[in-house]
Amino acid sequence: MSDHPTHWPRAIALVDMNAFFASVEQRDFPSLLGQPIAVTNGLRGSCVITSSYEARAQGVRTGMRLKQARQLCPSLIQRASRPEVYAGISTRIMQAIHTVCPDMEVFSVDEAFIDITPCQQLYGSPIEAARLIKQSVYRASGLLCSIGISGDKTTAKYAAKLNKPDGFTVIPPWESRERLRHVAVTELCGIGEKTGLFLAKHGVRYCGDMEKLPISVLARRFGNPGRRIWYMCQGEDPEPLHTEVTAPKSIGHGKVMAPNTRSRQTILTYLQHMCSKVGARLRRHDFEAHTFWFGLRTEQQWLGEKVRLPEFSSDHRLIYQYCQQKLNHIWKGQGIWQIQITALDPRPAAMQMDMFASNPEQLTHDKQLNSAMDDINQRYGEFTLSPARLLNRSDMPNVIAPSWKPAGHRKTI
């Protein structure tokens, strides 16, 4: 690779852990090395959360029913997930990356974008910097990752999945357009089925077809995200890294009400509104929580109680339902000045995923509904919120400052 100039105008890496949860199990229990394993929610979990490469080789996939997985792979070993362990390792990995290149965006529990541009000279070249990142991830966790390096987020993410596990794929920015030319548009992160159908209707199936489509067609249909898609397909995704949001320790929403509000109906309306906002904010960060604080302030003091949901959730309806049940405990008809709902124990939702739930289909359905709602809210700006008062009161050390997963462009644009 000696023909690579050592300085790139922009250099972005995407680090993706290989079969993360399953790899942690194999790392901690060496007898599992080389074995087909499936991680499930406890030993009663009925869906595969993650499987090892040995299991994948036999057709086992994330989200698959365990029963079906066993039919494909009779020697499959079931492992109860250990979310706290995975979260701890994830944090160590992110910190390790941060010490090599501080400009990063934690995209999910096992993925991060890194802007190598400002530190490429420090390490000699973007490729050397990426190598160092890969080494530091291994040193911090004992785990292998795949890494993609290119000039923009979308191409870097595409590159990272080309060689797995233990991949190291470089697509220099000046080659991106050609490398993507024959790639189906829906292979790119952020171009979902719906967008894919729209593009197909306009004759765009492969990234290379995009140069024939005027950008205005996408802009008219999707606004700025549409413009982004046009550039993405040509290897020039302009999207910056989202490094500004601190991983929230608590997520809350409060609102001042008309002084001395005594109407139960008004309080319920505010309550519902606050629950919607907290739910949306949790989902925006891809967090979920189990315990919430519901408070009402009278002129002199806060009345409040902890509200515990039956399970970790980011569903505003569930949050509202349980808060509503507490209203009579908290409030005896006093005049109210202010309302507050705060998630007390948010954690990355990727730890949990749909398959942990007792009723995965229902939960998936709710999540799809919520995600559709979030998309609409984001498009029309209703949730262009200033940060919640509590959001920035984080005890998290700065080294793990980046957002876990900023909104918007993970599954859909």
Alpha helices in 118-152 (DSSP H): 120-123, 126-141
Strands 111-115, 77-80: parallel, antiparallel or unpaired by DSSP?
A: unpaired
Tokens of 357: 């739930």
How many other C-beta atoms can be found within 10 angstroms of the C-beta atom of residue 89?
Answer: 24
203 torsion bin: left (phi>0), alpha (psi -120 to 50), beta (else)? left
Burial of 43 by CB count in 10 Å (0-12 exposed, 13-18 middle, 19+ buried)? exposed
Nearest to 103 by CA among 93, 115, 113: 115
**Strand, helix or coil for residue 173:** helix
Question: Min. distance of Cβ 322 from Mg ion in angstroms?
Answer: 33
- Per-residue burial over 193-204, b = 16 or more CB atoms within 10 Å of its CB, e = otherwise: eebbebbeeeeb
* Triad 189, 193, 195: Cα angle to 5°: 80
Q: Which is nearer to Mg ion, 147 or 341 (CB)?
A: 147
Please report, as ranges, the residues that interact with Mg ion according to CB under 5 A. Answer: 16-17, 110
Cα-trace Rg, the chain: 23
Question: Min. distance of Cβ 348 from Mg ion in angstroms?
Answer: 14
Question: Min. distance of Cβ 357 from Mg ion in angstroms?
Answer: 21
Residue 295 corresponds to which amino acid? G
Asked if residues 313 and 319 have their Cβ atoms less than 8 Å apart, the reply is yes
Is 244 labeled as catalytic in the residue annotation? Answer: no
CA dihedral 159, 161, 167, 168 (to 10 degrees): 10
**Alpha-carbon torsion 350, 223, 248, 142, what sign?**
positive
Q: Which is nearer to Mg ion, 165 or 196 (CB)?
A: 165
Distance from C-alpha of 136 to C-alpha of 77, rounded to nearest angstrom: 30
Question: Min. distance of Cβ 160 from Mg ion in angstroms?
Answer: 9
Strands 77-80, 37-40: parallel, antiparallel or unpaired by DSSP?
A: parallel
Nearest to 289 by CA among 348, 364, 206, 221: 348
Q: Annotated catalytic residue: which of 54, 105, 111, 236?
A: 111
Question: Min. distance of Cβ 166 from Mg ion in angstroms?
Answer: 12
CA dihedral 229, 230, 235, 237 (to 10 degrees): -50
Q: Which is nearer to Mg ion, 114 or 319 (CB)?
A: 114
Question: Min. distance of Cβ 251 from Mg ion in angstroms?
Answer: 25
Which residue spans within 85-214 are E strands per DSSP?
104-108, 111-115, 145-150, 168-170
Question: Min. distance of Cβ 219 from Mg ion in angstroms?
Answer: 33
Question: Min. distance of Cβ 85 from Mg ion in angstroms?
Answer: 16
Q: Which is nearer to Mg ion, 110 or 286 (CB)?
A: 110
How many other C-beta atoms can be found within 10 angstroms of the C-beta atom of residue 329?
Answer: 12
**Residues belonging to the active site:** 111
